[in-house]
Structures are given as structure tokens and as C-alpha cells.
Structure 1
Amino acid sequence: MNPSYTTIQLKIESRIATVTLDRPAVRNAFNEVLISELTSAFADLSVRKNVEVIVLAAYGKSFCAGADLAWMKAMAGYTYQENIADAQLLAEMLEGIYRCPKPVIARVHGDAYGGGVGLVAVCDIVVASEELHFCFSEARLGLLPATISPYVIKALGEQACRRYFITAERFSAAEAHRLGFVHVLSQAANLDVAVEQICHSILQNGPLAVVACKKLVQDYASKSIDSSVIQDSVKRIAEIRCSDEAQHRMKLFLEKN
């Protein structure tokens, strides 16, 4: 039975879980409840055996506008220690999505600002409507996108972040696609079809292999190629070749060829 949420909707169907931000009146902006519910939902989905792919979507005009204004007003009066505690909750949410063993697809239909871009960055595959824009607006408020930056710099690239963190300019989905941040650029009417095609591709694969592939990229992305990495890669392929899933799938493939 699905937990009851107030700021998100969760649907599970045919091995696909869809987590939908549901605060359209405030452009799906973050507050402490939304952060807590996203953290909880992804922790739950990470261990669900009936879920192999997760789609992160949103209702309303925008995907996510970053921080909620009421939440920002409260934060303005926080002490240093209170700010540390508050930022820690956002950091834990972002890490929880990034480390989720299941592949996460961002279905980005509308603008994403600030922390909303961070939410996109922690996903594995980004499908975006060609009409939308991204923006790191923090510098306009005298702030910086610190908590989201480890993920955004990895996903968007250092050189692009040098510009967009400092200028707080809006940039288009087409530019994000050119920079490699967006994987699939789609017309708004075709967004669901594009997401479904990617889900279908993933579901054709061995679920344990998909999890292992995601972890492989995360583990090796920032490492130098040395003897320890090489030996670890040898160990990983040997282990997965001996798994029941791989043995079964290889047998079926070889029997057909």
C-alpha cells in the first residue's frame, strides 16, 4: 500500500513508479514537507521489488521553481546552525535520489530554477520539453547554488557552470541539450512518448544488470584509471557473469543465435 503524501503523488504501474511534484500553485517549489516526502518516497522505491524504473515529473506550469518563498522568509532569520540543519535535509534528499539504485528519469515539462535544476541533475536520464528554460537564480539573491552544485557540475559541466552560476542567466532546453545536460529534447505533446520509449528500453534489460550499470558509472566517473580500478572492473564482470540473471539471459540469447 502506498504511503499518503501531501506534496507529491506516487503511482506504480507495470514496474514503473511515477513520482509527481504536486504543488502547482507555488510552481512546485521546495519546502520542508516536499523535501521530506521526496526523501521518503525514494527510500521506499529503492527497495521495492515491483519497481525497476522511476519517473520524476511535476504538475502545473513549472517543473520546480527552487525554494518556496514562505520557506525562504523563515530561513532569512535562521542562525548559522539552523541553516546547517536545514541545508542538510536538502542535501540528504538530493543524495537519496542520486544514489537510488533504480534508474531515475526526469520528465521536465516546464521551467526549473535553482534547486529545481539540482533535482533534474540528480536524475540519470533527462527528457525535457523544448519550450522550457533553466536558471541558477541564487546569485541574484546574494546566495549560491552550493548544495546542488556537486550534482549540477557533474551533469552540466564545469565550464557551463562557471557562466550560469555567476550570471544567473536563463538558458534554454536546447542549450542544455547541446551541453549534454538534457538527453532527449522533445515537443511538449510528445514528452510522454519519449519517456515511455526510454522506460521500455530499460525494462528489456536485466534489472540487476541495470542497477549494476548505474553503480558502475557512479563509482568510476571521478576515478583515475589505475590498477585498482582495472582489477575492480575485472571482478565486477566475473561476478555478474556468474549471476542467475546473466546465466539465464545469456543462455536464451545463445539458443537463438
Structure 2
Amino acid sequence: MTLVGRARARAVEILTLDSPHNRNALSAALVGELAEALTEAGQDTGVRAVVLTHTGNTFSAGADLRDPPPPEALVGLLRQIVELPKPVVARVTGHVRAGGLGLLAACDIAAASAEATFAFTEVRVGVAPAVISLPLLPRTDPRALARYYLTGERFDAAEAARTGLLTTHADDVDTALAPILDGLRRSAPDALTETKRLLTARVLETFDRDADGLTALSARLFSSPQAREGMTAFLERRDPAWVV
């Protein structure tokens, strides 16, 4: 079964997360397939930019709790998006949770429709947004992250744009993306690569400095008793034991 659809429109490679049975959760299989598609797009001289989008009403529900990827694999995927020699644009028309927000932050440009919602739900299942902090912390408002990291509250596209998680939002996301994609198509390929390198230098410094420590933290928390209770409660659709 293919989990990542591929199409092309005027030198823009469109990669579509297509795992509706688990709301495009980041399973080991999906992460591997997306990494392969990104590698091929990055090496293809006919590709000017990449659009990352989704089927269904959820861009990504975060890590697949039944088949999670190793933390190292998720770190590798996020870094691959940041380092890809082509701009990567997220196109969101649905909900984004937990690890899915790491994908958004790794992209160079992110656009969402008005119905999109966002939440860092990790604390509610007994873990922390550790690995996804690598692209998030350098690119988003720290006060906003403190609130939403610590509470797991849901917020809308306008708030996501205010905090720096999104580049733009609109009732019709494709209308908002049209001038952006047109601009990328009008830009010289080598100039795009070098300009992206300027923009991502600070993010990659964070990867170099913090990836090992955050990977270890993620692995430790996912194997903790509270995480087992939180994930079991999530799958059983009940409150975990610590809720008061």
C-alpha cells in the first residue's frame, strides 16, 4: 500500500500523505516512504519546489502510537526537509497534531485553510514535544510555545500564523499558495538553493547541538509508565489516571 502519493505540476513535486486509516499518523512505514520521496525530489533537476499535503481532514495526527518510528528516524526526516536543496511548502486543509507540527515547522513555507486546527498533544499522553522542537524552537514565538506545549490546547490557523508556525492562512489555501508557487517557479534553481541555505542555517545549528539529547529524551519518555498509561488511555478513549 502506498502511503505517500506523488504528482507534479509545472516543476512542483506534490507529495501527499495518504494514510487515512490512522489520520496520516507518522508510522515507521510512512516516515520511510516520505523520506524516500523527498530524496528523489531533491535529486531531480526537473523539480523546482516540493509541496507537502494530505488526504482527508487531518494533515497528520502525530506519531503512530501503534507503530511509532524510532526517534532517530523522525529526526532524520525533519532534518531532510530542512536540508533539502529545494523549498518545501506545506499545504494544510485539516487538523495537525503533535509530530505533524514538526513537519510544518521543518517546511520553508506553510499555508493552511481556515478550518485547520493545531495542538501539541504530547503532554496529554505522558510525553514531551522533544524531537519536533528542533525545527520549532528556532522558528516560532517562545511565549506561544510555552502555552501550547504545556497545556495541549487546540488553536486555530490565525493563531498559528501569529506564532510563526504558519506563513499564511486563508479560506481557500490554494488561492493563498498561488502567488507563492508562482514566485518559486520564477526563481533561479541555484539561487533558491543558496537562499534556503541562508534561511535554515540557524535551524541546522539547533539540530547539530540538540538532536542527540532530544532523541534520548524522547526515547526515555516513550518508554515511561506515564506514557504507557497515556497512550493506553488514548487508544481506549478515556482520561488517563492523572487527570483531576
* Residue 125 (structure 1) aligns with: 109
Task: Give the total of aligned pairs.
Answer: 205
Matched, 1:14 2:13: no
SS in 2 for 1:19: strand
Matched, 1:109 2:93: yes
* Residue 73 (structure 2) aligns with: 89
* Residue 146 (structure 1) aligns with: 130
Provide the rounded CA distance (Å) in 1 between the counterparts of 2:56 and 2:170.
18
TM-superposed deviation, 1:222: 8.6
Among 57, 61, 64, the alignment partner of 2:60 is 64
TM-superposed deviation, 1:50: 0.3
* Residue 170 (structure 1) aligns with: 154
TM-superposed deviation, 1:32: 0.6
TM-superposed deviation, 1:87: 0.8
1:1-257 correspondence to structure 2 within 5 Å: 6-71=2-67, 86-187=70-171, 190-219=172-201
The letter of the residue matching 1:192 is D
Note the residue ranges of structure 2 that are not aligned, 5 or more in a row.
206-244
Provide the rounded CA distance (Å) in 2 between the counterparts of 1:182 and 1:128.
7
Provide the rounded CA distance (Å) in 2 between the counterparts of 1:121 and 1:221.
10
Listed one character per residue, the Cα deviations across residues 162-203 of structure 1 (whole Å, up to 9, x for unaligned) are 11111111111111112222111110xx22222232111111
TM-score, normalised via structure 2 length:
0.80
Provide the rounded CA distance (Å) in 2 between the counterparts of 1:100 and 1:121.
14
SS in 2 for 1:134: strand
Provide the rounded CA distance (Å) in 2 between the counterparts of 1:118 and 1:66.
9
- Higher mean alpha-carbon deviation, 191-200 vs 104-113, is at 191-200
SS in 2 for 1:63: strand
* Residue 213 (structure 2) aligns with: none
SS in 2 for 1:70: coil
Determine which structure has more spread, i.e. the larger CA radius of gyration: 1
TM-superposed deviation, 1:221: 6.8
SS in 2 for 1:71: coil
Distance 1:220 1:64, change over 3 A: closer
TM-superposed deviation, 1:158: 1.9
SS in 1 for 2:66: helix
The letter of the residue matching 1:137 is T
SS in 2 for 1:126: strand
Provide the rounded CA distance (Å) in 2 between the counterparts of 1:37 and 1:222.
23
Runs of 4+ in 1 over 3 A off after TM superposition: 220-223
Distance 1:175 1:69, change over 3 A: same
SS in 1 for 2:70: helix
* 8 Å CA contact retained: 2:59, 2:93: yes
Note the residue ranges of structure 1 that are not aligned, 5 or more in a row.
73-84, 224-257
The letter of the residue matching 2:116 is L
